[in-house]
Amino acid sequence: MNEQKTEDGQDTVVALDGHQLLPQLVAHLREHRDPLRDEWASRIREAHLLEAMTPQEMAAETTSVYDNYVEVLETGSVEALQHYARDLSERIIPRGVETHEVVGIVLLLRDVLARSLFEKYQRDFPLLNRVLDAYEPAANRIANTVAVSFVEERERVITQQQDAIRELSTPVLPVRERLLILPIIGVLDSERARQLTEQLLRGIRTHRAKVVVIDITGAPDVDETVANHLVQTVDASRLMGASVIITGLSPTIAQTLVTIGVDLSKMNTIGDLQGGLEEAERLLGYRVTRTEADDAS
Amino acid sequence: MSAGPALVSILRQGDTLVASIHTALDDSEMIRFQNDLVHQIGEHRARGVIIDVAALDVLDSFGSRTLRTIAEMARLRGATTVIVGIQPDVAYAMVQLGMGRMGAHTALDLEEGLAYLSSMRNRRRRAAP
Amino acid sequence: MGTRSAARRRDSRNLSWRRAVHFGAGRHVCRRPAPSSRATTGCSFGGPGRPAARMVTAVTSGAAAEKSSEPGGPDEDVAALIPMLRRIVGARVGQHPAAEDLVQETLARVLAAKDRIEPGMIEPYAITTVRNLVATMWRSDDREQRNRHRLHDPNEPHDIEDSVVATEEQSAITEALGRLTEREREVLLAHEVSGRDTRSLADEAGSTAGAVAAQLKRTRARLRVEYLLALEKVEPPTDRCRPVLLALSSADRRRQRELDAPRHLLECDLCARLSAPLLGRGPTREDEVHVPITSDPDIVAARQAARELAVRAGFSGTDLTLLATAVSEVARNIVKFATSGDVTIELLTQPQPGIRVVARDTGPGIPDVDRALEDGFSTAEGLGLGLPGARRLMDEFSIVSERGRGTTVSMTKWFDKKG
């Protein structure tokens, strides 16, 4: 497939001229590999790109990128190119590298190499034109492919992380006997709200909980759907014999609940988590007293 | 009731009736259960009623409403009803169905139900004199 | 007393005397529930003066029976049976080539057993024997036919009376064959009776073997339908009946869906009855359950069936309970508001795994569907139909209701998560 690709379309131009020119060009880039790479690296530093990396990492990455780049110029293989781009992305995404940085460094490399070709062939203007005609489309294609691959890879990683977070993000915490805390952190969508409720209900049975504190301080927006879920969670917990205290209810969320017709007087709501825990302990019959030992520590 | 394994059982423990549903009941069996139980509440002058539904994998609108009715009739006869053993999935389905408010106290299991009734008794006793 | 036990010992394959005589003469018990038209023809053998009637005499009044068979020696006794046996056989098998064989076989058996038969009991013994022989013959014919191609599918005759049924079946088959087009009949008979293969038939018709096979399949499906109609001696009341029965007979699920066959079966008593032997046709489907709903216990059966199907498909979690609860609600609607209906639970694989529930009834219909679906978020009372609740429990929900005709609720639960 890749062979076919390189034999038609845009690549034909490269291949035609490249018959004589590309090997020459590639040989030139290989020959001046070290100075060109250093030039590139210093341009990267000047542009404040890839600052998340240490100098050693930079040196290693720029070398490998440079070599790959030249190899792709030489073979013109799309597959190798994509492979290289995905590899690169996989390595640098965890370093916190942003899309603009990746595009930036690839364009810088393109320019550095173009300039070196210009210097080499400037005496023969027609030849220079042909060299650039061969080089530019190939270089642009590399830049393009790298950028696209990077974005795709980034999206994949993000989805993966979201899934992982989702699995981790509904902790039902047994604080003490018969008391559970369910801190809701982050955006609540319908699906997550549902998972949360199911997990809580199972938790109530496992821990034989009598009181549950749901803390929504960390939930930025609670829309109507989520508010409905919240009401359902309270009702379902009650059916299982557990009382629910909701803490961290912002005035906006309280407003939403009232708008959809929730009778807040029937819900046990308390301003902050601390107060909620105290109320929970009261319901469970605990009396919290401060001892001298606690004061001392 | 017909022969075969009992679908429900109603046991008396002091002034408390413990009614357990052992298997899925159809609507007429449910009604019969309601009548039996309400009858026995009157007969034994029960002060507390526990209905254990732990064996039910579905409590639909009819089932929920019947339990609600029993609780209401028990209240009219001076007894407190506690429904115990609603399974997590069943509880979730009930609120989805719109049957989230039972009109009766609910507890995790039989033990909790009995504990609740005895706390109610103590409170009454304290309030009485 | 002695007679009875002797006979029982002798002919242990058959029914005891008492039962045989009682059934044979007293009333014609047709094993399958038969409409009146069938009952009259089926029971016409027991008229006065017929052999069956004489049998009653033979048993209930021993003196009279002895009188009738007393004269002459033992062998003459047996020979005297011939006209009667011919009548019996003739009434059952008509001009069947085996008719005389049956008579002779009966005589041979009676002769062989004669020493052990008490005087006066020879005639009843012969009658029972001949009836059994006829029944056995039909039975083996039936089996052969069924094994050949399942042209029709009668239950296995066990009782002597089934011979009567068998005769009717034979004439129904003949009638059904007559209702096919000439071309259909020719091809079918060439294939089934003369044993020609589809290839040679195709060559003859300038067609392909596959096309001929498909045509044969359609013809057999039609024959089954026409046979059932002929057996009942009825014409279908609506013009939807035949297409629906045909779709069932050919196990064509797509066509059944197009015609909304399940609803038709609910609405049309005749088709509901006739379709019974057709419903099991086609490969049995593991991924579909059908629960007829008429009373309370069916509600429980329906929701359990839904849960079981879902579990068998590998689903788990809270969704199972939501599904079962929703099924419970729609099934109860049928019991509460309609006379009869059914719930079909079907496994879906496209576009993702799921369960579809279709509840159909022939009730009065819901005058205002929108209102039936209304409720406040937490009241769920609405019109008391439990529909808004069921809708919330499922992922997809739709109602089609026609006044006076009934209601169809379709709802789907998707099981996209691992659960």
The pLDDT tens digits of the residues spanning A251-280 come to 888 888 888 777 777 788 888 888 999 899
CA dihedral A149, A153, A155, A161 (to 10 degrees): -170
Global pTM exceeds 0.80: no
**What is the nearest CA distance from C318 to chain A, expressed in angstroms?**
8
- Say which amino acid occupies C274: L
Own/partner long-range contacts of C311-314 (Cβ < 8 Å, ≥24 apart):
C312/C286, C313/C287, C313/C347, C313/C353, C313/C355, C313/C415
Nearest CA in chain C to A227: C377
Q: Are residues A28 and A127 both part of a single domain?
A: yes
Return the H-helix or E-strand segment holding A76: none
What pLDDT is recorded for position A24?
Answer: 83
Q: Are residues A132 and A248 both part of a single domain?
A: no
User: Does pLDDT of A32 surpass 80?
Assistant: yes
Q: Comparing B29 with C167, which gets the higher pLDDT?
A: B29
Q: What is the DSSP letter of B101?
A: -
Q: Are residues A242 and A270 both part of a single domain?
A: yes
Compute the distance between CA of residue B3 and CA of residue A156 in angstroms, rounded to an integer. Answer: 62
What pLDDT is recorded for position B74?
Answer: 95
- Among A148, A167, A186, residue at a domain's last position: A167
User: Does pLDDT of C71 surpass 60?
Assistant: no
In this prediction, residues B77-95 reach a mean pLDDT of 95
In this prediction, residues C71-94 reach a mean pLDDT of 74
User: Does pLDDT of C256 surpass 70?
Assistant: yes
Compute the distance between CA of residue A131 and CA of residue A19 in angstroms, rounded to an integer. Answer: 11
**What is the nearest CA distance from A264 to chain B, expressed in angstroms?**
15
What pLDDT is recorded for position B58?
Answer: 94
Out of A21-25, A251-255, C144-148, C241-245, the most confident range is C241-245
Q: Are residues A31 and A156 both part of a single domain?
A: yes
Angle ∠(A209,C324,C385) on CA atoms, nearest 5: 105
The pLDDT tens digits of the residues spanning C53-64 come to 333 333 333 343
Q: Comparing C50 with C76, which gets the higher pLDDT?
A: C76
The pLDDT-based confidence of C69 (bands split at 50, 70, 90) is: very low
**Helix (H), strand (E) counts: chain B:** 4, 5
The pLDDT tens digits of the residues spanning A218-239 come to 877 777 778 888 889 999 999 9
What pLDDT is recorded for position C22?
Answer: 35
Compute the distance between CA of residue A144 and CA of residue A55 in angstroms, rounded to an integer. Answer: 26
Q: Are residues A191 and A271 both part of a single domain?
A: yes
Nearest CA in chain A to B54: A240
CATH number of this structure's domain B8-127: 3.30.750.24
Compute the distance between CA of residue C19 and CA of residue C42 in angstroms, rounded to an integer. Answer: 19
Compute the distance between CA of residue A26 and CA of residue A23 in angstroms, rounded to an integer. Answer: 5
**Helix (H), strand (E) counts: chain A:** 13, 5
| Range C288-414: architecture per CATH | 2-Layer Sandwich (3.30)
**What is the nearest CA distance from B54 to chain C, expressed in angstroms?**
14
The pLDDT-based confidence of A5 (bands split at 50, 70, 90) is: very low
* Number of structural domains chain A divides into: 2
Query: What distance separates the 2 farthest-apart alpha carbons in chain C?
Result: 95
Query: What's the CATH code of the domain at A263?
Result: 3.30.750.24
The pLDDT-based confidence of A136 (bands split at 50, 70, 90) is: confident
**What is the nearest CA distance from C329 to chain B, expressed in angstroms?**
7
- Among A167, A182, A203, residue at a domain's last position: A167
In this prediction, residues C94-111 reach a mean pLDDT of 81
Query: Contacts of residue C324 in chain B, CB cutoff 8 Å?
Result: 57-58, 93
Is A198 within 8 Å of C318 when comparing Cβ atoms? yes
Residue appearing with tokens 């109860």: C332
Chains touching chain C through at least 3 C-beta pairs below 8 angstroms are A, B
User: Does pLDDT of C212 surpass 70?
Assistant: yes
Angle ∠(C112,C114,C115) on CA atoms, nearest 5: 105
Lowest mean pLDDT among A85-89, C288-292, C409-413, C415-419: C415-419
The pLDDT-based confidence of C244 (bands split at 50, 70, 90) is: confident
Instruction: Show the 3-state SS of C358-388.
Output: EEEECCCCCCCHHHHCCCCCCCCCCCCCCHH
Is A231 within 8 Å of C376 when comparing Cβ atoms? no
Angle ∠(C193,C196,C201) on CA atoms, nearest 5: 125
Structure tokens at C272: 């509901």
Q: Are residues A29 and A142 both part of a single domain?
A: yes
The pLDDT tens digits of the residues spanning C117-146 come to 777 778 778 888 888 888 777 777 766 655
Average confidence score pLDDT of chain A? 81
What pLDDT is recorded for position A286?
Answer: 79
Identify the domain containing residue A7 by its residue range: 2-167
CB-CB contact of C159 with C132 (8 Å): no
What pLDDT is recorded for position C359?
Answer: 94
Percent of chain A whose pLDDT exceeds 90: 18
User: Does pLDDT of C30 surpass 80?
Assistant: no
Q: Is the dihedral of CA A29, A31, A34, A39 positive or negative?
A: negative
What pLDDT is recorded for position C55?
Answer: 36
What pLDDT is recorded for position C160?
Answer: 60
The pLDDT-based confidence of C28 (bands split at 50, 70, 90) is: very low
Q: What is the DSSP letter of C155?
A: P
Q: Are residues A251 and A139 both part of a single domain?
A: no
The pLDDT-based confidence of A165 (bands split at 50, 70, 90) is: low
Instruction: Show the 3-state SS of C185-250.
Output: HHHHHHHHCCCCCHHHHHHHHCCCHHHHHHHHHHHHHHHHHHHHHHHHCCCCCCCCHHHHHHHHHC
Determine the residue among C321, C357, C377 to mutate to test chain B binding: the one whose Cβ has the most chain B Cβ atoms within 10 Å: C321
In this prediction, residues A91-110 reach a mean pLDDT of 85
Is B24 within 8 Å of C320 when comparing Cβ atoms? no
Q: Are residues A84 and A152 both part of a single domain?
A: yes
In this prediction, residues A101-113 reach a mean pLDDT of 90
The pLDDT-based confidence of C239 (bands split at 50, 70, 90) is: confident
Nearest CA in chain C to A260: C377
Compute the distance between CA of residue C114 and CA of residue C125 in angstroms, rounded to an integer. Answer: 9
Q: Are residues A35 and A157 both part of a single domain?
A: yes
The pLDDT-based confidence of C274 (bands split at 50, 70, 90) is: confident
Beta-bridge partners for C399: C409
| In chain C, domain spans | 2-162, 288-414
Query: What's the CATH code of the domain at A116?
Result: 1.10.490
- Among A143, A167, A191, residue at a domain's last position: A167
What pLDDT is recorded for position C11?
Answer: 42
What pLDDT is recorded for position C225?
Answer: 87
User: Does pLDDT of A158 surpass 50?
Assistant: yes
CB-CB contact of C336 with C352 (8 Å): no
Q: Are residues A249 and A204 both part of a single domain?
A: yes
Is B26 within 8 Å of C300 when comparing Cβ atoms? yes
